[in-house]
Amino acid sequence: MNKKTVEACARAAHEVNRAYCLAIGDDSQPSWDDAPAWQKISAYKGVEVVYSGGGPEESHASWLKEKIETGWTLGPVKDPEKKEHPCMVAYGDLPEAQRKKDGLFVGTVIDMLTALGEKGS
C-alpha cells in the first residue's frame, strides 16, 4: 500500500469519525487539515491495522497500545496536553458509542481501499 493510499484512507476515516463525534455531541476532533501530527500518525497506524485484516477490536487495541507507548493515561475527558483519554480501556469496556466509532473507522478504511483498488489481507 503506497503512502498516497494510506493518506487518503486516514483522511477519510478521520473525517467520518469527526462527523460522527459531532453528531453525538463531541466537538473535540479537529478537521484533518487542522489535526496535529500525533493524531494523523495514529490514523495512519490505524489504516495499517485494517489493511492487515484487523477489525474494530484490533484497531482499538492498536490505538490503545500506541497511546500507552506515547505516555497517555486514562482520564475523564480527552486532553492532549495532559495526555489523558477516557477510552484508555479494553475494547469490551468501551461505551457503545465509542465501539461504533471504531467500526466506522474500520468500515471507512475498507471502503476506501476497495474504491482505490487496494486489498488488505
pLDDT tens-digit profile of 17-48?
999 999 999 998 999 999 999 999 999 999 99
What is the value of pTM for the model shown?
Answer: 0.91
Residue 108 placed within a domain: yes
Residue 24 placed within a domain: no
Residue 99 placed within a domain: yes
Residue 52 placed within a domain: yes
Q: Which residues contact residue 92 at a Cβ distance below 8 angstroms, ignoring those fewer than 6 apart?
A: none
What residues are paired with 6 via a beta bridge?
none
Residue 45 placed within a domain: yes
Q: How many domains does the chain have?
A: 1
Residue in 94, 85, 96 with CA at minimum distance from that of residue 42? 85
What residues are paired with 80 via a beta bridge?
none
Each residue's pLDDT tens digit in the chain (121 positions)? 899 999 999 999 999 999 999 999 999 899 999 999 999 999 999 999 999 999 999 999 999 999 999 999 999 998 999 999 999 999 999 999 999 999 999 999 999 999 999 876 5
Residue 32 placed within a domain: no
